[in-house]
Structure 1
Amino acid sequence: MEKIFYIKNMVCDRCKQVLRTEFNNASISFSKVDLGEVVVNITSEKELLIFKNIIITNGFEIASNETDLQVEKMKELLQDRITIQTGFDVKISEYIATKLHKEYSVLSKMFSTNVGVTIEKYVIYLKIEKAKELIQMGQLSFSEIAYSLNYKSSSHLAKQFKLLTGFSMTTYKTTKNWNRKTLDKIV
């Protein structure tokens, strides 16, 4: 019988590929593997246990309720906004509320309660990790990085960067100690 599972901590195309490969290797039939959602055809308790083991051993979790699902959708939307660098023309609150068709105040409280930080703080963490990536790539100046992340000035980014990493952007670049976090480990 086909069943939909909502999966936490899926953040990129590699996550989808890992699960597809694992399901194929375990002969688990699936019709969909998307960020945060998997549709599989489970025919026995043994297959269900194998499926759950694949999810857990690869660092994912099965979302157990509607709140978990909503929080994962919010994280995915915010990660897309930062990593793809789109959607900056709209405030975060409007962006999230419009995409999820709920009041921002409800979503914000749900996120803070579940994740332990506000949506705004989470976005800052995402931006700092993206800045680290862009610094490591070495193709943009600090001002260009700040602009690409929708900061009004490079000094604002620099202050947040130092506050969260303990290093200035220049020090981070020159020491080449690339201590970046994966998106699912940001909080």
Structure 2
Amino acid sequence: MEKEFYIKKMVCRSCIKLIRKKLNDEGFNIVSLELGILVIETENPDVVKHQLREILKKNDFDLIENPEEKLVEQIKILLIQLVGNVPENPIEIKMSKYLSDKLAQDYASMSKIFSYIQEITIEKYFIKLKIEKVKELIHSQNYNFTEISHMLGYSNLGHLSMQFKNETGVSLSHYKSMGLNFRNSLDRIL
């Protein structure tokens, strides 16, 4: 039978690659693996669950069993994917509508659950993700600040500049002039 597991702290393709390798090394029969969701073919789900938990913990991941935590992880993954697709797919939708559409839930309810579990609002988490993307795009040196602000869905450069300074303590131009790549990994933002 197929058993679905939700995994905490999976934020990138490297996470998928690492977990796939570790589980294959242990002989797991993986049906599918994507950010935050693993499906395994097994005849003994309880034994597999215990083994899986041990493997994940050794690699700084964890199983999610609580429905609220599952929702929070889904929100984080969707937002990471939304920001991660920039610049190929600029953000042109309100984040609240995007999440409501993708998860078929009321945004206000999701926001309360997210804030309760993460002790930060979805909006602040989204800002942190976007600021990390700004750092990446500045470091690439392919885009000017105005282009970056539009790609990330800011109404104007001033709005991005203010959020960037609030989050990092330095202006966009100062950050760029430093020439360093002070970025936080996405699993360490909170």
- Name the CA distance, whole Å, in 2 between partners of 1:133 and 1:105: 31
Does 2:124 correspond to 1:124? no
Shift of the alpha carbon at 1:61? Answer: 1.5
Partner of 1:72: 73
1:31 deviates by 1.2
* 1:87/1:95 contact within 8 Å kept: no
Per the alignment, residue 30 of structure 2 pairs with 30
Aligned residues: 187
1:181 matches 2:163? no
Please name the residue that 1:167 is paired with.
170
Moved more, 19-28 or 130-139: 19-28
Equivalent-residue separation in structure 2 for 1:49 and 1:176 (angstroms): 46
Q: CA 1:93–1:87 in 2, change beyond 3 Å: closer, same or farther?
A: farther
Aligned pairs (5 A) from 1:79-118: 79-85=80-86, 86=89, 88-118=91-121
Compute the RMSD of aligned alpha carbons.
1.9
Q: Is the 8 A contact 1:146 1:153 kept in 2?
A: yes
Deviation (angstroms), 1:87? 7.4
The TM-score with structure 1 as length reference comes to 0.91
Residue 150 of structure 2 corresponds to 147
Distance 1:149 1:90, change over 3 A: closer
CA spacing shift, 1:90–1:146, aligned 2, 3 Å: closer
What amino acid maps onto 1:84 in structure 2? N
TM-superposed deviation, 1:49: 3.9
Cα distance 1:39–1:114, how it changes in 2: closer, same or farther (>3 A)? Answer: same
Quote the Cα distance in structure 2 between the aligned partners of 1:174 and 1:120. Answer: 28
Say if 1:143 and 1:89 are closer, same or farther in 2 by CA, change over 3 A.
Answer: closer
Would the aligned equivalents of 1:42 and 1:48 in 2 still touch at CA under 8 Å? no
Counterpart CA distance in 1 for 2:72 and 2:126 is 14
Q: After TM superposition, give the deviation of residue 146 of structure 1 in Å.
A: 1.0
Corresponding letter in the other structure for 1:175: M
- SS across alignment from 1:139: coil
Say if 1:144 and 1:8 are closer, same or farther in 2 by CA, change over 3 A: same
